[in-house]
Structures are given as C-alpha cells and as structure tokens.
Structure 1
C-alpha cells in the first residue's frame, strides 16, 4: 500500500475511535456544522461518486467476463441495491427503537438489530479501507479532499449509529468499525481484486454513501443554514475542479 493510503486509513479509523465522540457543537452551532457538512457531501456526490459510477460502467463494458454482459448497462443497479439495503437497515433500526420505547422505556435498538447494523457498516468500512490502496496515484490535494469528504461522512454516520444504539455502540460498535477500516487497508496491501470486481464493489459502496448522505447529512429546513450549505458545496466543488 502506498504511504498516503495507510495514513488516510489510520486517520479515518480515528474518526470512529475518538474524534466522533468530541462535542464539536460546543464550538460550532449544530445547524451550521451539519449544513456545511451536507454541502461538502453533495459536492462529493456530484463531482466524485457520479463520475466514478460512470467509470465503473466503462470497466464493465470492456470486461470479458460473460456474466458482465448483462450488468454492463446496469451498473447503477448495483448502486441501487446498496442504497436499498442500507435504507432498509435504517428503517429496521427506527422500528426497533420505536418498539423499545413503547414496551421497554428504552430509546435504543435491540441486540440483534445492533449487530446486523454494525456488520453491514463494517463491510462498508472494509471496502473503504481496501479502496485506499490506489489513493497514492492521486495528488496530495485530491487525497486531502477525499479524506475530508469521507471523514465528515464517517462523523455524521457515527453520530447516527450512536443515536440508534447508544451504549452498545460506544462500548463495541465503534471499535469494530475502527478495526474494519484497518482490515480493509491490510487486505488492500495483501491482494488485489480485478478491475471488474473493484467496480462492482465501488458501485455498492457508492449506493450506500448516497443514501447516508441524503438521509443523514442533508439537514431539514428547520435545522439548516443555507449559506453554510452553499459555502460547503462551493468550497468543495471549487477545490475538486482545481485539483
């Protein structure tokens, strides 16, 4: 693995392990922070994820694998599957919390829901860690921009998982997700998947990221600051286009 990939893997792991527990809202108003992060995330979706999905489809179109003959024009289906799976998991977690509030006076999920939720997010983190193996091919600015976008994404996802699962997440979940990133990073160093497989894996990851951004990182109108959102979008888009 290239040096930058390992450094970014450690940095992203620290988001889950320690940084996400810091109360940054004591320094920055919550609505401004979430709006700015949402703006950055939207810039990331339109200027990074969508182009990467297009590139993934091109990889499949040039694949000699027979199974890919059907998928070559349907790469977005893989992204859609990722989106639907994580949407379903989120609804499951919300229903579990609702049931526990009504029957057990507890605003957190049950144990099974917690472990299934953590298992799927661990898979995502392994994928992210694995894909960092190629980060060394990009410029320093591109590496920094990628880290900022994913770090903000991790921070807000971490906040959501803590809201769903409370103490079990702090005691076990965040450490599992921390380890998952490093497992993926080590796997990226140990072996390399084919371009077609990487394209499929990336598409699944992209779908889940899009869902999490739309559901968690875009604040509603009562908790948003348009100028912070606009500032985050313009700043990130400008840096991406100039990199």
Structure 2
C-alpha cells in the first residue's frame, strides 16, 4: 500500500492548494454542502476514530510508560481532551485578535502572529493525518478511499474558513505550508521507526482536534444550516463504514 498511500498524500496536497479555486463554495448551496460534510465527518469520528480509543487505551496500559504517565487513568482519553483544548485555544486567540483589530484598526483579520500560530496548529494537525494515513486506513483500498473522501471534505471546510479569515496570507503562504505538512507526516511515518504506542497517542490527540474543528468550523450557523443535508451526510458515511469496516 506504499504507492497508494503516497498517491492519497499527493491528492491531499492538491486539495489544500486548489481549495481557493472551488467556485461553488462561494454560492448559496454551500451551506447544504457544509452540513452534508459535517454530518459525514461526525459519523466517521464517532464510528471509526472514537471506538479506536478503547484499543489505544489498552495499548497504553500494556506499554512501559514513565511513572507519572502510568499513574494517570485513561491517558489516551486525556490526550483527546488535550487535542480539543489545544485547538479551542487557537480558535479563541483567533477570535479575540480579530475582534481587537476590528475595534482598534478597522481590520477584519487577526494579527500575523495569530495567523502564524493557527497555521502552525493546522500544520501539526496535517502532519498527524499524513503520519497516521496507513494505520488509520487499514489494508484495503476501500479503507483508503473513505479516509481520502472524509479528510478531503474536512480539509476543504477548514481551508475555506482559513481563507475567509486570513485572505492573502493564507493564499500566499498558509495553503502551501498545509500541503507540505501532509507530505512531511507521510515521510516521517516511512523513514522513522514507529510503534503502537506512538500511533495510539497521536491518534488520540488528532481525534480531539478533529472533533473540535468539526463542531467549530464545519457546522454552518444555525440559520444557514440544513438539517436534512446534515442527516444525509451522517447516513452516507455511516452506511459506507458499515459496508467497509
């Protein structure tokens, strides 16, 4: 599956680079699309990633950990909470910086420092997605395809928010950093030694980040969201997972 995983990594890079040029994201039906995407993403997280946390916790309990880690109950779940807290903190800094600039300088964008911090956070996020591609996808082509579909929609949703927030900074710098970070994660997986514990901890942290970003970025505002589209996306991914997994 080496070449398949490489092909999907390159496809993810293309998604990052080309999201700005997907014109239908600027049209009215985008809210129905975003609702569909968020429903599918949530189904994937809670039917595939979250159930894996039980396995990852068992891996952590069987591993030789430092004493301070062994004394913690549910260490992988704590890492999931850390992932949620980490990305929530970045989102809060982003919102506060944007509000400050609007109030004091009549600018609609956050500061460059916050932009750099947010891109760093999502670059880390993408490194983990690239790194975990092979382990989270399994050993079948169908598993890789659903991984690609779910995370491509997820990337498009996140990229759209980043572009609307940071505009030219994201277009000129951010999207290229995110594209390269996926490849970097894939390369790290293939050139370094990995083990079940590393996969468990990285996956737990990533799961928390995905949950936060879905709820924060992918669900459209209540007045613009489409509940039928949300349910359709949820059912679509649920059925696919039931067939494939």
Normalising by the smaller structure, the TM-score range is: over 0.9
Report the more deviating stretch, 73-82 or 232-241.
73-82
TM-score (norm 2): 0.93
Q: How far apart, in 2, do the equivalents of 1:70 and 1:198 lie?
A: 21
Which residue in the other structure is 1:57 paired with?
57
> Quick one: structure 1 residues 177 and 29, their matched pair in 2 at CA, closer, same or farther if it must change by over 3 Å?
same
Name the CA distance, whole Å, in 1 between partners of 2:168 and 2:138: 40
Root-mean-square deviation (Å)? 1.8
Per-residue Cα deviation, 1:36-72 (whole angstroms, up to 9, x for no partner): 1111011112111211222211211221234442345
SS in 1 for 2:74: coil
CA-to-aligned-CA distance 1:152-181 (integer Å, 9 cap, x gap): 111111111112212111110110111111
CA contact (8 A) 1:2 1:136 kept: no
Match of 1:106, SS? coil
Superposed structure 1 runs of 4+ greater than 4 Å apart: none
Please name the residue that 2:38 is paired with. 38
Structure 1 CA distance for aligned equivalents of residues 31 and 116 of structure 2: 30
TM-score by length of 1: 0.93
**Residues 48 and 135 of structure 1: is their aligned pair in 2 closer, same or farther, counting only changes over 3 Å?**
closer
Shift of 1:133: 3.4
1:60 and 1:72 in contact (8 A); partners too = no
Q: Which residue of 2 aligns with 1:185?
A: 186
- Which runs of 5 or more structure 1 residues have no equivalent in the other structure? none
In structure 2, stretches of 5+ residues that fail to align are none
1:201 equivalent in structure 2: 202
Distance 2:26 2:102 in 1: 28
